[in-house]
A = this chain, B = another copy of it.
């Protein structure tokens, strides 16, 4: 079987990470989500906790990052412009994502991996979303969320991810054209995994 990669972008509370992990198990390939933080720590010299914080920093809603089209990482550092910690982390993670996709079959969650790997024909790009009420319930049941303003919190998390995507990729987060498959995960966790597994196997046929 050919080497391939599935990237998953996801709304907060849609279960995208859990679905991605189970998908990787079903496909028998590696899974990367928070694992990318440890790899980026080794690459940048930042502490893992610091990278976690930096990833959650706000990005401007109104402007694009200066490095969106400046791959690979080396190019960005050669421009002579100052690079924020968030930009350094993004660039390091992008380099890691490209390396991983070149080395092995895997599922990668988040970090705009769909954009980073946009030109790789062996990569299938997925977006997972769900109605807000489903995501509130899912976050309570699966992440133990108890905050009273959970729906507002979820909206803020989506906004942050959307701005991050826009800043670093100049793309609209969740726009169907940027993905091979967009799925409403309120069809259920098990069904979502099976739908994606079937999709991944059909996608693979094209490569063989």
Query: Which of A24-32, A36-44, A57-65, A176-184 contacts its partner?
Result: A176-184
Query: Chain B CB within 10 Å — which of A175, A194, A198 has the most?
Result: A198
Check if B184 sits within 8 Å of A180, measured CB to CB. yes
Cα distance A155–B147 in the bound complex, in angstroms: 46
Partner of A187, one of B187, B195, B203: B203
- Residue tally, chain A, CB below 8 Å to B: 23
Give, as a whole number of angstroms, the nearest-CB distance from A158 to chain B.
11
B206 touches A176 (CB 8 A): no
A129 at the binding interface (Cβ < 8 Å) = yes
User: Closest chain B residue to A176 by CB distance?
Assistant: B182
Q: Mark A168-206, 1 if CB is under 8 A from B, else 0.
A: 000000111101111110011001001100110011011
For the complex, is A67 an interface residue (Cβ under 8 Å from B)? no
In contact, A129 and B194 (Cβ under 8 angstroms): no
Residues of B within 8 A of A175 (CB): 175-176
Residue A127 at the chain B interface, CB threshold 8 Å = yes
Q: A191-B202, A194-B198, A198-B194 are in contact. Are A180 and B181 (CB under 8 A)?
A: no
Contact residues in B for A199 (Cβ distance below 8 Å): 195, 198
Q: Which residue of B lies closest to A130 (CB)?
A: B177
CB of A180 within 8 A of CB of B179, answer: no
Chain B hits for A184, CB < 8 A: 179-181
Apart from A194-B198, A195-B195: 19 A-B pairs, beta carbons within 8 A: A127-B176, A129-B177, A174-B176, A174-B177, A175-B176, A176-B176, A176-B182, A179-B184, A180-B183, A181-B182, A181-B183, A181-B195, A182-B182, A188-B202, A188-B206, A191-B202, A195-B198, A195-B202, A198-B198
